[in-house]
Amino acid sequence: MLHPSCIADGQRELAMESREPLKKERQLGLLQDDRHDSGLDSMKEEEYALLVKELRDIRLQPQEERGAPHAPAQPWQQQVTEEGDTFLHLAIIHEEKALSVEVIRQAAGDPAFLNFQNNLNQTPLHLAVITEQAEIAESLLKAGCDPEIRDFRGNTPLHIACDQGSLRAVSVLTQYCQQHHLCSVLQSANYNGHTCLHLASIQGYLAIVEYLLSLGADVNAQEPCNGRTALHLAVDLQNSELVSLLVKHGADVNKVTYQGYSPYQLTWGRESCRIQEQLKHLTMADLQMLPESEDEESCESESEFMEDEIMYDDCVIGGRQLVS
């Protein structure tokens, strides 16, 4: 257990640290993209100075010294920035791991605090995944953080982990949540219509794709907007290894999009002949011909018939009528 004086020192260091970028450029990009103007980096100077003063006065006390388990909320639990970030949000953003763990430990009986969403609907668990702090994500889940909560883009923390390709985060999020939560998250789509499997497939993370399938992710789940499955996406991306993996795990090669396209039909006009050969012998014959080709043939035959049977006498070029 951390001594109260150590916690206080950690808080002062957190409050007084300069507003430098995160250690990894990728983390910085994700925070800028997903958080927009949230966090200390965007605060006005006077607001930042005020927060520093407030945090200096905060003192975390070990839970045993606070009395009953349902004691009133501590001052640090009530601190919220203009962007909706709690003290825990800020500690995670700035990678103050020891402080984050202690806050989580003391807030274990307060799910409202642990699941608090900032102005971008991000919980501390979302931020732990974005900043690739798997051990903090584990602590949050063990303390009762809800893995099904969505951010402003409809992403659960697992969606973010799959999109980032973070094997550790995916492993933690799937191992330390209850089974009913896991089943729900695997089935849910974000506001772009993508499941976790779709996101991992789009990014080409084969290990994560295979792991999600082993957990029961629906290999034939369709995007709600156009009906593409992960196999359709793999063809679009010309990822032959992903095509093989999905077929191996039972992907339906005859599943069509809402426009009626099978994965094989999407191979036409693409560079990879290997993918086309992979899918050709598995696809039903009537789902191999492009619908456009059928329409063109129909139009050509109809055009020939019309030309044989009908004489046009109303053709005009340059304002003058043609005489047959």
Residue 204 belongs to domain with CATH number: 1.25.40.20
Q: Above pLDDT 70, what percent of the chain?
A: 66
pLDDT of amino acid 210:
96
Q: Are 95 and 21 in contact (CB under 8 A)?
A: no
Query: What is the band of 225 on the pLDDT scale with cuts at 50, 70, 90?
Result: confident
Runs of H (alpha helix) within 225-290: 230-236, 240-248, 273-280
Q: What 3-state class would DSSP assign to 157? A: helix
Instruction: With cut-offs at 50, 70 and 90, classify the pLDDT of residue 285.
Output: confident
Do residues 153 and 60 both lie within one domain? no
In this structure, the answer to whether residues 205 and 112 fall within a common structural domain is: no
Do 137 and 3 share a domain, yes or no?
yes
* Global pTM value: 0.73
- Is residue 307 domain-resident? no
Do both 124 and 1 map to the same domain?
yes
Whether 103 and 44 map to the same domain: the answer is yes
Torsion of CA 44, 48, 50, 56, to 10 degrees: 180
Closest CA to 123 of 163, 99, 153, 156: 156
pLDDT at 74: 74
pLDDT of 232? 97
Shared domain check, 52 and 119: yes
Answer yes or no: are the C-beta atoms of 160 and 172 closer than 8 Å: no
Q: Are residues 3 and 118 in the same domain?
A: yes
Q: Are residues 208 and 182 both part of a single domain?
A: yes
Reduced DSSP (H G I as helix, E B as strand, rest coil) percent helix, strand, coil of the chain, to 5: 55, 0, 45
The reported pLDDT for the residue numbered 283 is: 86
Same domain? 96 vs 9? yes
In the structure, what pLDDT confidence band is assigned to residue 294 with cuts at 50, 70 and 90? very low
The answer to whether residue 264 is domain-embedded is yes
CA 242, CA 254: separation in Å to the nearest integer?
Answer: 17
Asked if residue 311 belongs to a domain, the reply is no
What CA–CA distance (Å, rounded) separates 173 from 162? 11
User: Same domain for 238 and 293?
Assistant: yes
Q: Name the burial class of residue 30, with classes exposed (0-12), middle (13-18) and buried (19+) by CB atoms within 10 angstroms of its CB.
A: buried
Assess if residue 109 is contained within a domain. yes
Condensed to tens digits (0 to 9), the pLDDT of residues 71-100 reads 566 777 888 999 999 999 999 999 999 999
Q: Which residue range forms the structural domain that includes residue 260?
A: 221-301
Domain count across the chain: 3
Confidence of residue 112 (pLDDT cuts 50, 70, 90): very high
SS (H, E, C) 10-66: HHHHHHHCCCCCCCCHHHHHHHHHHHCCCCHHHCCHHHHHHHHHHHHCCCCCCHHHH
The single-letter DSSP state of residue 255 is -
* Highest-confidence segment of 47-61, 181-195, 299-313: 181-195
Give residue-wise pLDDT tens across range 19-72. Answer: 343 344 434 444 545 443 334 444 455 654 565 455 545 444 444 444 445 556
Cβ atoms of 80 and 71 within 8 Å: the answer is no
**Whether pLDDT at 6 is above 70:** no
Q: Same domain, yes or no, for 1 and 128?
A: yes
What's the CATH code of the domain at 122? 1.25.40
Residues 166 and 115 both lie in one domain? no
Helix (H) or strand (E) segment spanning residue 144: none
- How many separate helices (H) and strands (E) can be counted in the chain? 18, 2
